[in-house]
Amino acid sequence: MAILNRFTRAERESIYSGANAAVWHSHRLANESAKHTPREEDYVATLVTDAIPFLVKRWGSLLGPKGIELKVSGVFCHGHPQVAFGAPKKRVELADLLVVHQHATKHRTRTRAVLVQAKTSIDATHRLPAGDPQLELFSTWPRFEFVTGGLTPGLRNLKEVGKGSRYALVHAEFAYPEVITWADQCPWAACSAGQLLSAELSFARLLGDMLFGKDGRVVRIHSPRDDWSRTIKELLEVTGKKTYRRANIGRGNAPRGSTSTAGKANLMFFAQSPSFLVGGGSQLRLAASERFFGSVSAVSVDGLSDDPPRSEQRDGGGGMSTLILETRDRDQ
């Protein structure tokens, strides 16, 4: 049975509010930690790290009674990969963030993904300059090629029409939920590409809709048959080798193999419901995090921590900030 169909309307709203709480806490931390005015990448950095234990705490309590186990992983990278398109060549980042949801049952695994470009805003709008190359990429999705990041060379045609790409507006200053006028009182909003970006729904609702299989573009992660699936798979592969860096919010450069107690300098963070690794899931079920980011210890979140669990991997080039939401049906 699809995840969506296992929840009542009230329970679905609780999924959205849980995501909202996680986004708000990560947003608060970016504002509190920044030495200077926070930038888009600062907000992305805390979203893919510090939001994780809050998300697992809230979602895990709702998914568990439905027979669904949860694991959330996050990686921060900035400035890569770069792509080039058009004549003369225009060069931009592919996106700021990749969000992936994978749900595994006993017999199959389904994966969806969204590429996200973040922009800060005060009034839930953001006007992009005329001729903005990033907007051209996200609006028309012309054939492009990677020029950095260690991905396979050659032209790619994602044939993307908006299901797998979105802009995100991020509230440019700290605010408590009760004074945020954006959708669902969330400091992040999602919207389609356009010169005047305007909040269409909360980013928390986008995350919830991906969990429910209502949003995101389908990815054939195990057997890619098109440029879209091949690109998402490669992004996950190279991201698993990237070093975490975000000095503005006090997170220095550290190799993935670091065992320092300063966990927030490491690259990948993860948290999971207590039973996720109990019972020996197959490689099919653990594909997203295990396959691309390596094996991690069975650490559950039964309380919130300022130092989320982390994996230890080798350093490498390329990569994209990534948030992976993994769910699986509990063994029958």
pLDDT (tens digit, 9 = 90+) per residue, 30-49? 999 988 999 999 999 999 98
> What pLDDT was estimated at residue 332?
42
> What pLDDT was estimated at residue 191?
97
> What pLDDT was estimated at residue 238?
85
- Strand 109-121 and strand 217-219: the pairing is antiparallel
Domains in the chain, number: 1
Helical ranges in 123-211 per DSSP H: 133-140, 203-211
Beta strands in the chain (DSSP E): 68-75, 82-85, 90-93, 97-104, 109-121, 125-127, 145-146, 165-171, 188-191, 196-198, 201-202, 217-219, 244-246, 251-254, 268-272, 322-329
Sign of the CA dihedral running 312, 315, 319, 321: positive
- Rounded CA-CA distance 123/189 in Å is 11
pLDDT of 308 above 60? no
- Rounded CA-CA distance 308/51 in Å is 9
> What pLDDT was estimated at residue 302?
40
- Strand 188-191 and strand 201-202: the pairing is antiparallel
pLDDT of 257 above 80? no
* 80 pLDDT tier (thresholds 50, 70, 90): confident
Contacts of 77 (CB under 8 A, 6+ apart): 239, 242, 244, 318, 319, 320, 321, 322
Q: Which residue has the higher pLDDT, 248 or 69?
A: 69
Percentage of the chain surpassing pLDDT 70? 76
> What pLDDT was estimated at residue 149?
72
Percentage of the chain surpassing pLDDT 90? 64
Averaged pLDDT for residues 21-31: 97
Residue 262: CB atoms within 10 Å: 12
> What pLDDT was estimated at residue 174?
95
> What pLDDT was estimated at residue 290?
62
> What pLDDT was estimated at residue 222?
86
Averaged pLDDT for residues 160-184: 96
Beta bridge partners of 191: 167
| Token pair for 141 | 């999705």
- SS3 category, 48: coil
- Rounded CA-CA distance 54/301 in Å is 9
Domain extent at residue 54:
4-329
Sign of the CA dihedral running 21, 75, 213, 170: positive
pLDDT in tens, 97-118: 999 999 998 888 999 999 999 9
> What pLDDT was estimated at residue 150?
79
Q: Rounded to 5 degrees, what are φ and ψ at 154?
A: 115, 155
pLDDT in tens, 125-143: 999 999 999 999 999 999 9
Integer angstrom CA distances of residue 246 from 79, 259, 264:
11, 18, 10
> What pLDDT was estimated at residue 186?
98
- SS3 category, 113: strand
> What pLDDT was estimated at residue 27?
97
pLDDT of 278 above 50? no
Q: Which residue has the higher pLDDT, 309 or 239?
A: 239
> What pLDDT was estimated at residue 292?
67
Residues in the chain, total: 332
pLDDT of 1 above 70? yes
